Amino acid sequence: MLVEIRPAARLRGKNAVDLTAALAPVFGALTTETDDAGPVTDLSRLRVVADWVQYRNNFRTPVELRPVVGGGPPELALDLRGISGTGADAVTSGAAAALRAHHSGGAGSRHLTLEEWGPTRDSAIWAFNSLYWQHLQLWEEATGQGYESALPGGQSDARHLEPVRATIGKLFAIWDSLADRRALPEELYVVELGVGNGNQAGTWLDTFVEMDRAHGREYYRRLHYLMCDYSPHVLELARATVCDHTEHVSSFVLDAQRPLTSLAFLRFKVFFVYISNVYDNLPTDEIATIGQREHLVEARAYLPDTDATAIAAGLGIEPETLGALVQKLLRLGPPLLAEAYPQHFADVPAAVQFWRECWQALKLQERYVPLHGLDTYEIAPGISGELLRPLLATGGDVRMHVSNGAATSFAETLPLLHPYGRLQCHDIVVTDPHQYRSGFRGPGKYDGSVVNWVNGPLLAHIGARKGFDVSFAPFRRNGSNIITMTADVRD
C-alpha cells in the first residue's frame, strides 16, 4: 500500500495533526473489510492520499474512494481536517461505505447526482460560480455581506498604494523614453480585468493624477482606463467609485477567458493590464500522474442524500425531482426561477435561499481517466497538453491544476500588450510544481464562488512561448497568500 501524506508542514509543531488518531479508523476499516469470499480490496495496490482541505466550505467528504477508469487500483482520498472533526466510528463507517460503494460500482448510492462524469472544468460547479457573479447583488442582499469581505483580510489586495506608485512610475519612464523617440501613441491604454468594487481603479487613477501632475508630461490627458468584468452589477459599482475620472474610464462586460472578443482593437496597444483575484475563479481541470502515466481527473457534482432530502422537503417536492429544479436554477437564475415556479418559491429571496442551500450542500465525486498522450489534451485553444510535460516530469507522481480558464485568459490577454507593455496579476498562485505535493490547492468554496490556486509554472511556460518572462513575488502584505505575477516582454 502506498500512503501519501501531502500536508507535511502540518505534521509538526504546536497544532500538528495527530496522524495516528486520524488514520487509525481508516486503516481499521481497510484491514477488517471482507465479504463472504474474504478480503475485497487488494491492499498491496491501494493508494491512500491524505490532504488538509483548508477551505471550511468545500466539495469533499472526509473519506472518498476515487476509481481509475480501466481497472487500475483506486485511490482512497482523505481530508485530515475533515477526519479530525469527525468521530472515529463515523470515519470507520465512512471508509467502509466508500469501499462498499466502489466495489458495487456505485449501486446503492442514494446521492442525487446532478451531472454525468466529465472534465472538472465542465462541471456544474462552474455554472454555480457563474450564477454567483451574475446575481451577486442578490447573494449579497441575502448574506448581508459584500463579497470583498470574504477576501483574505477583508479587502482587495489591490488597494495598497506602494505597488500602484511603483507601477505608474515605471509606466512614466517607458512613456518618456518613447516620447523622446517620437514613438509614444496618442492614446495610452490601461486595462483592468475583474474590477471588484472599483477601489483598485479609483486608487490607481487618483494616484496617477497626483503623480502625473508632479511629472509634468500630461499623460492623464491621453489615458484610457478600461474596466472589464463579467458582472454588470460589479461594473456598475465600480463606475460609481471612479466617478471623478469618468472621461478617462470605459467599462466592458466581458468573459475574462475571452478578452479579445471585446478588446481585439487594442492588440499591441495596451501598456498595462491589471488582473486581481480573477484567475483563481476560472474553470480548471486537474491532471494527475499515477505510476508515471497521465490521467485526467473527471468529476461529477452531487447533493448528498440527507441534504437533497432536506432541501426537497423544504420545497414540498419529491427528492428525485430536485435535480431538474437545480438545472432550472442554473439556467434561469433566481429571479426567473421564482417567476417560473411560484408554487415552490414565494419570491426571489426564496429562490436565492434555495440556491444557497444547494451550493452549501454541493459535493464532487472524482475519478481518474487515463490520457493517451498529452497532446490529445488541450489546455486552452491552440495550447497543447504537451506544455504540461516538463511540469509533470519533476520527479514522482503529482496531481496538479491545469488552470484552463486562467491559461486561456492569460494567452488571450498577452496579445493586447504593447511592445513595452506589462501584465500584472494578484492571485493565489502555485509557483513551483512541488507545491502540489505538499498542500491542497483547491477547489474550495469562497462565498458563492469556486476557488482554485493558479498553476503559475504553467502560465510561465505559456508566457515564454509567447515572448514573455513571467516572474512571481510575494505580495507586500504580511501573512498574505497572494502572489504578484508579472509578465514582461522578454528578449
Partner 1 sequence: MGVVTAGVTEVPAATPERPAAVGGGTPGTGRLLLPTTVIGSWSVPDWLERAKTGVHHGSVSRSQLADMHDMAVKAALKDQEVAGIDIVSDGELRRDNDIDYLLARVPGVEVRDAVKAFYFDYLDLELPRPLPEPGPGVLGLVPDLEFTLAHTDRPVRFSMTGPFSLSQRLRCGAYPDRADLVRALARVLNAEARALAGAGAQLLQIDEPLLAGHPEDVGLAVEAVNIVTEDVPVTWALHVCYGNRYARPLWEGHYDFLFPAVLDAAVDQLLLEFARKGDEDLQLIERHGWERTLGVGVLDVKTADVEPVDVIEKRIERALQVVPADRIVVTPDCGLRHVPAGAARAKLHAMTTAAAAVRDRIPKENT
**At closest approach, how far in Å is the CB of 254 from partner 1?**
21
- Minimum CB separation of residue 388 from partner 1 in Å reads 14
Interaxial angle between packed helices 136-143 and 124-134, expressed in degrees from 0 to 180 and rounded to the nearest 10: 80
CB nearer to partner 1: give 56 or 372.
Answer: 372
Nearest CB to partner 1, comparing residues 110 and 465: 465
CB 62 within 8 A of CB 82: yes
Q: At CA 428, angle to CA 425 and CA 433, rounded to 5?
A: 105
**Which of 305, 386 has the CB closer to partner 1?**
386
- Residues in a beta bridge with 223: 188
Shortest gap between Cβ of 98 and partner 1 (angstroms)?
Answer: 41
Question: Which residue, 236 or 268, has its beta carbon nearer to partner 1?
Answer: 268
Q: Which is nearer to partner 1, 44 or 292 (CB)?
A: 292
CB atoms within 10 A of CB 178: 17
Q: Which is nearer to partner 1, 269 or 437 (CB)?
A: 269
Q: Give the number of C-alpha atoms closer than 13 A to the C-alpha of residue 105, restricted to the C-beta side.
A: 3
The rounded distance, in Å, linking the Cα atoms of 144 and 404 is 32
> In the bound complex, what is the minimum distance in angstroms from residue 397's beta carbon to partner 1?
21
Report cis status (omega within 30 of 0) of the bond before 443. Answer: yes
**Amino acid at site 277:** N
Residue type, 237: L
Separation of alpha carbons 364 and 114, rounded Å:
10
Nearer to partner 1, 56 or 182 (CB): 182
Give residue 372's identity as a one-letter amino acid code: H
C-alpha neighbours within 13 Å on the C-beta side of residue 320: 0
Using CB under 8 A, list all residues that contact partner 1. Answer: 181-183, 185, 268-269, 384, 386, 390, 415, 418-419, 464-467, 489, 491
Interstrand relation of 449-451 and 363-370 (parallel, antiparallel or unpaired): unpaired
Instruction: Write down the least CB distance from residue 319 to partner 1, Å.
Output: 50
Q: How far is the CB of 181 from partner 1 (least distance, A)?
A: 6
C-alpha 253/C-alpha 231 separation (Å) is 7
- In whole angstroms, the minimum distance from the beta carbon of 183 to partner 1 comes to 4
Smaller CB separation from partner 1, 207 or 384: 384
Left, alpha or beta for 224 (phi > 0: left; psi -120 to 50: alpha)?
beta
CB atoms under 10 Å from CB of 242, counted, come to 23
Whole-number Å distance between alpha carbons of 360 and 139: 13
CB of 434 to partner 1, least distance (A): 17
